[in-house]
Structure 1
Amino acid sequence: MTGPTPLTLASIRQAPKAVLHDHLDGGLRPATVLELARAAGYDQLPASDAESLGAWFRDAADSGSLERYLETFAHTVAVMQTPEGLRRVARECAEDLAADGVVYAEVRFAPEQHLEAGLTLDEVVEHTIAGFREGEALAAAAGTPITVVCLLTAMRHAARSREIAELTVRWRDRGVGGFDIAGAEAGYPPSRHLDAFDYMRANLAHFTIHAGEAFGLPSIHEAVAFCGCERLGHGVRITDDITDGPAGPVLGVVANYVRDMRIPLELCPSSNVQTGAVPSIDKHPFDLLARLRFRVTVNTDNRLMSDTTMSKEMLKLSETFGYGWSDLERFTINAMKSAFIPFPERLRLIDEVIKPGYAVLLG
């Protein structure tokens, strides 16, 4: 090679990528939703063919409201109530991410939402992790190896967060890497779940918190100061604490702390636009935060609802902000530094997979 490979969707697919914020129930294949719905006798789907169903999910999620966006999950969760459904969705998730060049993925879901067919919380986790392992094996056989780690989410409007935290610790070292809370932010602050976060800290277990997406700075402040989160799920509203000054951007107390402590931001550009967290990709604060040296990471959030992949997200950012391969490599290494796996495993993926992969693309 005589120079860098041109940045295209196809070439970005060849780049090794790491995703920290991807929802299992937000990444199903439309065809799989249809097949699982038929098998389960679920007749509430808004479309009867894969193409129309995929378009419906995308259009319904484009409401500009987090609450409306979350309503689309009723259909995907409905078809993930059996061992077969959970294993298939997890297996295909691993395969799809690997086919897009993702070498490390943390995929989260809420076990409490998958109990309608009589499964226990432990059985839900067991079958989901089995699906991830099957997907990893298939991806390796296809020449696209991937490591998938499961994060367990508690719904912030419910009262099972301590129970899910205990479930997380119980399955630690068996495929579960950490804990999270998710759902509508307004009216459900992170501090409602202090018992769960205290339990995680007492057990030296990892956790991230959805904060600063649909709600502003107070959500981030609570997640960091009261709950002690290691990462911020989205965290896009950290810009509420950044103002314009005569010499450039001025960071407030919370923004300074997040940057100084290298608390990663799990930014999801397309999703952030869909939920109304930001008005458009070109107005997304990703570039501002990257230039201010926050630890920014690129994520998909919900691949089905956003009709996206990690490669598409990276291409959008590159086209909007002029990023090159070295920038995409930095964002990927940011993610790997922040992963909920042991340091030697992070280092191995950075040194043996990510850096060599980008070196080829840089020429």
Structure 2
Amino acid sequence: MPTALTAETIATAPKVLLHDHLDGGLRPATLIDLAERIGYRELPADTPAALARWFSESAYSGSLERYLETFTHTLAVMQTRESLIRVTSECVQDLAADGVVYAEIRFAPELHTEQGLPLDDVVRAVLDGVAAGTAAAQAAGHRIRATILLTAMRHAARSREIAELCIAFRDQGVAGFDIAGAEAGFPPTRHLDAFEYLRRENAHFTIHAGEGFGLPSIWEALQWCGADRLGHGVRIVDDITLHPGGRVELGRLAAYVRDKRIPLEMAPTSNVQTGAATSIAEHPIGLLASLKFRVTVNTDNRLMSGCSMTSEMTALSEAFGYGWDDLQWFTVNAMKSAFLPFDERLALINEVIKPGYDRLRRG
């Protein structure tokens, strides 16, 4: 008999995470400790449990802009080399303990320079944290491969500079580029020079689109900017029509996204918090998965959403009746879409992911 799907058994399944923000995944206890060390007195709670509860409650505002405000506190304690190494190492260890075998962790270097750290030193600190966390995870019996994505903020004007950092460090653990921040009023086309540079350098990049804004942001990310993946992309469902009798009609953009196998980096709990979906049960991921879009499951911000890859997959299995085959499909989708060389992706699929799910199916 196959192993029953529970949170405990899903925790043992191999997982792939493409969309996880470093400054959105701090341990509450670490946040309190780092704040005490630097004299930061603005935290809204002084115990890990109360602080975690505050972040979760604040994130359930239904507004992407309000959701982004919670990062003021996490960024305040991530301004030194030591703090960046610690936070990154703990991130990698936490993901590995959750069964994540490959992760792309993203962060915006420009947000960690308030105490004078140069951008390249910020990147080096995070890479050192990845190395430390990977070693600690291995010592604890967990296998993980982690890379990082460098994020530029769409309301700022440093995207070309961040893109150049991606190329400078791409052989040292930087897998690609991302652009994030409030979508409304800040289209990705404002950063075309960065995207053109990355394409000339044969680099990978993803763009946050179709979360806080609709189809135009998805269209611009793909057709103007050339994104390899879409961060969230939830609003692609606005281009899908459900007719009486069950017939489904895809608009031109939705058909393009499906036909081209554009990966959708979906984060169900986060999408509910920001108002991009009304509930897990009503999340577009159910429809999109049934239509065989290249859907992936992600955490986005584990602190704000109070989630993990295990909790996201558990919630989806409960809402949509998914089994091990479905969870493997999401995981393989993500691994196929990773910013890793093809042979490395294939090895993880064939040597780690498929055998891991086969064991769970056999019971």
Q: TM-score range by the shorter chain?
A: over 0.9
Report the Cα offset of residue 323 of structure 1.
0.1
Provide the C-alpha distance between the structure 2 equivalents of 1:142 and 1:88, rounded to a whole number of angstroms. 17
Is residue 151 from structure 1 mapped to residue 170 from structure 2 by the alignment? Answer: no
Provide the C-alpha distance between the structure 2 equivalents of 1:324 and 1:222, rounded to a whole number of angstroms. 35
Provide the C-alpha distance between the structure 1 equivalents of 2:252 and 2:297, rounded to a whole number of angstroms. 25
Q: TM-score, normalised by structure 2?
A: 0.99
Matches within 5 A, 1:49-60: 49-60=47-58
Aligned to 1:289: 288
Is residue 335 from structure 1 mapped to residue 331 from structure 2 by the alignment? Answer: no
Aligned to 2:97: 99
Is residue 345 from structure 1 mapped to residue 344 from structure 2 by the alignment? Answer: yes
Report the Cα offset of residue 287 of structure 1.
1.0
Provide the C-alpha distance between the structure 2 equivalents of 1:142 and 1:91, rounded to a whole number of angstroms. 13
Report the Cα offset of residue 28 of structure 1.
0.2
Provide the C-alpha distance between the structure 1 equivalents of 2:219 and 2:100, rounded to a whole number of angstroms. 31
Aligned to 1:259: 258
Task: String of CA shifts for 1:164-195, please: whole Å, max 9, x gaps.
Answer: 00011111010100000000000001111111
Aligned to 1:308: 307
Aligned to 2:247: 248
Provide the C-alpha distance between the structure 1 equivalents of 2:248 and 2:215, rounded to a whole number of angstroms. 17
Provide the C-alpha distance between the structure 2 equivalents of 1:318 and 1:268, rounded to a whole number of angstroms. 14
In structure 2, give the amino acid aligned to 1:211: A
Aligned to 1:188: 186
Provide the C-alpha distance between the structure 1 equivalents of 2:83 and 2:45, rounded to a whole number of angstroms. 19
Aligned to 1:279: 278
Is residue 326 from structure 1 mapped to residue 325 from structure 2 by the alignment? Answer: yes
Task: String of CA shifts for 1:262-313, please: whole Å, max 9, x gaps.
Answer: 0000000000000000111111011100011100000000000000000000
Aligned to 1:47, what secondary structure does the other structure show? coil
Aligned to 1:225: 223
* Aligned pair partner of 1:109 in 107, 110, 130: 107
* Aligned pair partner of 2:40 in 39, 42, 64: 42
Instruction: Identify unmatched segments of 5+ residues in structure 1.
Output: none
Provide the C-alpha distance between the structure 2 equivalents of 1:111 and 1:262, rounded to a whole number of angstroms. 30
Count of residue pairs brought into register by the alignment: 361
Q: TM-score, normalised by structure 1?
A: 0.99
Provide the C-alpha distance between the structure 2 equivalents of 1:50 and 1:209, rounded to a whole number of angstroms. 32
Report the Cα offset of residue 29 of structure 1.
0.1
Aligned to 2:312, what secondary structure does the other structure show? helix
Report the Cα offset of residue 41 of structure 1.
1.3
* Aligned pair partner of 1:214 in 212, 215, 229: 212
Aligned to 1:281, what secondary structure does the other structure show? coil
Provide the C-alpha distance between the structure 2 equivalents of 1:249 and 1:316, rounded to a whole number of angstroms. 25
Which stretch of structure 1 is more off in the superposition, 247-256 or 89-98?
A: 247-256
Provide the C-alpha distance between the structure 2 equivalents of 1:248 and 1:302, rounded to a whole number of angstroms. 36
Report the Cα offset of residue 248 of structure 1.
1.3
Aligned to 2:11, what secondary structure does the other structure show? helix
Report the Cα offset of residue 245 of structure 1.
2.9
Provide the C-alpha distance between the structure 2 equivalents of 1:21 and 1:182, rounded to a whole number of angstroms. 11
Aligned to 1:145, what secondary structure does the other structure show? coil
Q: Which runs of 4+ in 1 moved over 2 A?
A: none
Aligned to 1:14, what secondary structure does the other structure show? coil
Which stretch of structure 1 is more off in the superposition, 247-256 or 202-211?
A: 247-256
Aligned to 1:330, what secondary structure does the other structure show? helix
Provide the C-alpha distance between the structure 2 equivalents of 1:249 and 1:296, rounded to a whole number of angstroms. 18
Provide the C-alpha distance between the structure 1 equivalents of 2:248 and 2:214, rounded to a whole number of angstroms. 19
Provide the C-alpha distance between the structure 2 equivalents of 1:147 and 1:122, rounded to a whole number of angstroms. 22
Instruction: Identify unmatched segments of 5+ residues in structure 2.
Output: none
Task: String of CA shifts for 1:5-55, please: whole Å, max 9, x gaps.
Answer: 010111001000000000000000000000011111111111111111111
Provide the C-alpha distance between the structure 1 equivalents of 2:225 and 2:271, rounded to a whole number of angstroms. 23
Aligned to 1:283, what secondary structure does the other structure show? coil
Provide the C-alpha distance between the structure 2 equivalents of 1:143 and 1:348, rounded to a whole number of angstroms. 20
Provide the C-alpha distance between the structure 1 equivalents of 2:323 and 2:242, rounded to a whole number of angstroms. 27
Provide the C-alpha distance between the structure 2 equivalents of 1:307 and 1:72, rounded to a whole number of angstroms. 13
Aligned to 2:236, what secondary structure does the other structure show? helix
Aligned to 2:102, what secondary structure does the other structure show? strand
In structure 1, give the amino acid aligned to 2:210: G
Report the Cα offset of residue 152 of structure 1.
0.3
Report the Cα offset of residue 141 of structure 1.
1.2
In structure 2, give the amino acid aligned to 1:298: V
Aligned to 2:329, what secondary structure does the other structure show? helix
Provide the C-alpha distance between the structure 2 equivalents of 1:100 and 1:118, rounded to a whole number of angstroms. 34
Aligned to 2:146, what secondary structure does the other structure show? strand
Matches within 5 A, 1:125-164: 125-164=123-162
Aligned to 2:17, what secondary structure does the other structure show? strand
RMSD over aligned CA atoms reads 0.6
Which stretch of structure 1 is more off in the superposition, 245-254 or 258-267?
A: 245-254
In structure 2, give the amino acid aligned to 1:68: R
Aligned to 2:267: 268
Is residue 178 from structure 1 mapped to residue 176 from structure 2 by the alignment? Answer: yes
In structure 2, give the amino acid aligned to 1:178: G
